[in-house]
Chain A
Amino acid sequence: GAVVSQHPSWVICKSGTSVKIECRSLDFQATTMFWYRQFPKQSLMLMATSNEGSKATYEQGVEKDKFLINHASLTLSTLTVTSAHPEDSSFYICSATPRSMNTEAFFGQGTRLTVV
């Protein structure tokens, strides 16, 4: 199957700093990428949908100024957690689909963010 690479796999940062997480589709072009957040023992909650060349669509309750998403190319989307606080500590996962939505979604390995 296709590969989606997410980097870094874990990161520890100080409160008030910003953290960037990258999501790359390695062997296919992804017009759409999704960003999810997972709290301990809970399911994945969709944060935003990232479309190449346009602004991301954020789910209700997700602060777009806090979680900046940039989908600059057909193989790369980035999530930047700005002015991170301990409550932003979570597991973040991206996924990407090839051009057509009726195909399988491929997921990154996830990034565990800890804000101290």
Chain B
Amino acid sequence: KQEVTQIPAALSVPEGENLVLNCSFTDSAIYNLQWFRQDPGKGLTSLLLIQSSQREQTSGRLNASLDKSSGRSTLYIAASQPGDSATYLCAVSGTYKYIFGTGTRLKVLA
């Protein structure tokens, strides 16, 4: 059974800091890994998708890496801003399911 864990569960940083969010999964047989952002009471916003054959993806200040063999992914956020405050979720897709991680609640202080 696939289990997806995110560390840390919560993070509070001052504005301007670079930060790393971690995602680990137990079954390396995945098709892809996706990072999402969720604002309170809202739906999901897709940030980055990494297919299993890829090592990383970049979009603006965001960079996500994937090490499938070790079951890990990281989301790097450069020069954090208060607008980055949200919950960040990673999700992995397998043969029949799309499983979400436990989430990291990020707060960037002005």
Contact = CB atoms under 8 A, between A and B. Distances in A.
A75 interface: no
A98 interface: no
A102 B31 contact: yes
Contact of B100 (A36, A49, A102, A110): A36
Given A45-B100, A108-B43, 10 more contacts: A34-B97, A43-B102, A44-B89, A46-B97, A49-B96, A95-B98, A102-B31, A104-B32, A105-B34, A105-B91
Given A104-B46, A107-B46, A110-B42, A57 B32 contact: no
Contacts of A62: none
Nearest to A95: B98
B11 interface: no
Interface string A60-91: 00000000000000000000000000000001
Interface residues of A, number: 28
Given A101-B95, A109-B43, A44 B31 contact: no
A21 interface: no
Contact of A93 (B31, B43, B96): B43
A102 B93 contact: yes
Contacts, number: 61
Interface string B61-84: 000000000000000000000000
Interface string B18-50: 000000000000011010100001111010010
A46 B99 contact: yes
A36 B99 CA distance: 10
A26 B36 CA distance: 21
Nearest to A109: B43
B97 A1 contact: no
Interface string A20-52: 000000000000101010000111111001000
Contacts of B42: 109-110
Contacts of B44: 93, 107, 110
